[in-house]
Amino acid sequence: MAHPHHRPAAALQLKEPVLAVADLSAELYYHAQLELMPRLGRAWQQLSAHYPGLRLWHNGGSAPWISEALSHLGIPAERLLCAHRHPHLQASLLLVPSYSSSFGRPGVCSLRWLRGFWGAITERLPKPDTSGLGVFLSRSPAQRRPLLQHQRWLLATRKLGLYQPSLGCSVAQQLRALQRTERVVMAHGGAMANLLLMRPKSEVIELMNPGYQPPYSTSLLVSANQRHRRCLGAVTPQILQDLLYAGPLEWPLDLEPSALTGL
């Protein structure tokens, strides 16, 4: 039962038509990049010409990667409505695009649009110095699901000819940095979205906790004909699961660098 003195916020009333695009976990980089963006971008490109005053309501927040993508789409700041600030609205016309794929697994049409959209942008950037090289992408102790033995991994991967690049601060720079890389060793996480423009038959070695193996990256890697294998670490002890972590989303990656022997 609602509290008698609690009143929901008044709805924002708009005369203009509104494109409303909401996705589960849209505030997280991986899901915003691979799920929110293709729905939002494809719909905006088709509808904005028919509705000159069209506004956009989205739940991706104001993270830098969202702002960058919206800027590349050419959506003026005055047309944006963030769901975090305006959870309720009423509009003369509300346009809601349908979902085109399962959660975490973008469909073929979405991936094709994303590669065309970001590919055109990254082509204007300087060529990366990662051509033919192997890259190691870790997760530091400060991140959720950190890679334990972080420093040992850094030393071991350098000996294997893998280097940890500075991916840059923009989405386009991150995509460009991995665009011509032949091999990536990486801890499972949102940076999987940065593999979007990697060339076919490149190799991705994903480091994972055996208790958390979502199939999210499968469609992305299969669509580009990339070779993919997983290296599973040790199971997180039950006592640590109970005392230190809220759930599998937070379990660390306990994996020895020797797992890459024979790379």
The helix (run of H) or strand (run of E) holding residue 154 is helix 150-159
- Partnered with residue 160 across adjacent β-strands are none
Specify whether the CB–CB gap between 53 and 16 falls below 8 A. yes
- The whole-model pTM stands at 0.88
Per-residue model confidence (pLDDT) at position 167 = 67
State the residue for tokens 């990254």: 122
Residue 111 vs residues 40, 47, 66, 70, 201: alpha-carbon distances, Å: 13, 20, 17, 17, 17
Cβ-based burial of 209 (10 A; exposed 0-12, middle 13-18, buried ≥19): buried
Per-residue model confidence (pLDDT) at position 180 = 81
Per-residue model confidence (pLDDT) at position 1 = 47
Structure tokens at 2: 């609602």
pLDDT digits (tens, 9 = 90+) for 144-202: 899 998 889 988 988 888 888 776 779 999 899 888 888 999 999 988 999 999 988 89
Residue 86: Cβ within 10 Å count: 13
- Identify the band that residue 3 occupies on the pLDDT scale cut at 50, 70 and 90: low
Per-residue model confidence (pLDDT) at position 74 = 94
More confident of the two residues 141 and 248: 248
Name the class of domain 134-260: alpha beta
| Torsion 141-205-66-86 (CA) sign | negative
Domain with CATH 3.40.50 in the chain: 134-260
State the residue for tokens 């190691």: 136
End-to-end CA distance of the chain: 59
pLDDT digits (tens, 9 = 90+) for 86-127: 999 899 999 999 887 888 888 899 999 999 999 999 999 988
Per-residue model confidence (pLDDT) at position 5 = 55
Question: Which residues are CB-neighbours of 117 under 8 A, at least 6 positions away?
Answer: 37, 41, 72
Is the pLDDT assigned to residue 9 strictly greater than 90?
Answer: no
Per-residue model confidence (pLDDT) at position 134 = 87
Q: How far apart are CA 222 and CA 229, in angstroms?
A: 12
